[in-house]
Amino acid sequence: MAKERKFFGTDGVRDLANSGNMTPEFALRLGRAFIRFTHGKKIVIGCDTRLSGRMLEGALYSGMSSEGAEVHLAGIIPTPGVSYAVKALNADGGAVISASHNPAEYNGIKFLGADGCKLSDDEEADVEEFLSRDERNTSQNIGRVYDAPGLVKDYALHIASLLNPEAAMNNVAFDCAGGASAMSVPVLVGATKFSQLSTKIISQDFDGLNINKDCGVMHMDNLTSYVAKNGMSLGFAFDGDADRVLVSDDKGRIIDGDIILWVLGRWLKKRSGNDKVAVTVMSNMALEAHFADEGIKTLRCPVGDRYVLETMRESGAGLGGEQSGHIIASEFTSTGDGLCTAMLFLNAVHDLGENVSTLVDRFGRYPQRLTNLTLTRPRESVDMDSVNAIAAEYQNKITNGRIFIRTSGTEPLLRILVEAPELETVEELSSELSARLKEFC
């Protein structure tokens, strides 16, 4: 049975910056607790472009160095860049200061182990145990803190090395979401055949307040309209810490994580023979049907890339991911990596002879409706037994479809997913469920 966590959600500790669980004081205590948990001697810290990032960075490394840890500050770098740096430096762990896809007023802290992977639920619970003690090292063994801006370039060059030069395409756009990829994409483009082609980088500028604002994966119309209007072949959009990616085809239509997995799953089976893919309960049922046709086994798991990784490890799957664009290909990365996924997608399209323009049409997804109800109470106090009972009642009304309801681990929301072959059924049940479940919010 998993240990109970109080502060950590599905993607680290997250809150409004400078309040609640995201104050400098709390970050300092988190830094201390992490070192006491890992006994780490060398740690890498990275952050995205949020205004509050440097404030929390100073507090976090102060807590770590007060416990004797040697801290390397990578600066603005994608979450997977920190994962790469942890392994490249043979460090004992890493920390990322980011609220990922959330608006600029939020921030968060997530920890990585020596393997570059996010901590498990139980490991985060163990960190919380050290946090509750709030002990500190009173010796004079103070750790050194180093600025390590070169880690960003090292990571970007590593990603560039993954791209088959023959797979580079003309007229590709990158939407950096005013986030961490703004520092990495230019290096990536300059180190590949993209630099000789008509590549465009948009939403690259950042001011600490515009991360994810009207751009990136949370606002795909920024990229899709740009691609369609400017005659681009395709485009890649990232979120604030670039662990997610979504794609726009040349018509300005969204190629989501399910379609990306469909392409990569077939490519990896052809490449290595691995015929298992881990996906979350949110993935469209059409993906499972396509994989069945290709002799690929679909493995379902809870929402969250850490659960995807756990399922991959347990099953031996070489690929896993989420509809939202978190993709993990274990041969290449230890965590969700938007830039890596983009390069692998291009390789797969080339090797499979895929026509990107027709992927959306051929995928033929089941109609889905995801409705978010705002919670006015702590998510732990939501009566999920009653909610699930109502969901089961409506599930019986669908012949070939499903209903899935959960509380968000990163936002105060109750998420309601309805999926069925007929759009009318989806819309009707979504509306009825939303009306009935408001009383639990």
The structure tokens 């479809």 sit at 401
The token duo for 20 is: 């609640």
Active site residue 100: yes
Residue 373, number of CB atoms within 10 A of its CB: 18
In angstroms, rounded to a whole number, what is the distance separating the alpha carbons of residues 251 and 230?
Answer: 10
The structure tokens 């994409």 sit at 185
In contact, 264 and 319? CB cutoff 8 Å = yes
Q: What is the DSSP string of 164-184?
A: -GGG--SSEEEE-TTSGGGTT
Of the residues 65, 66, 100, 184, only one is catalytic, namely 100
Cβ neighbourhood burial of 343 (10 Å; 0-12, 13-18, 19+):
buried
**Cα dist from 424 to 101, 306, 404, 405, 421, whole Å:** 31, 34, 18, 19, 9
Q: Phi and psi for 21 in degrees, rounded to 5?
A: -95, 15
Burial 231-254 (b: 16+ CB within 10 A, else e): ebbbbbbbbbbbbbbbbbbeebbb
Nearest to 37 by CA among 102, 126, 125, 149: 126
Which amino acids are annotated catalytic?
100
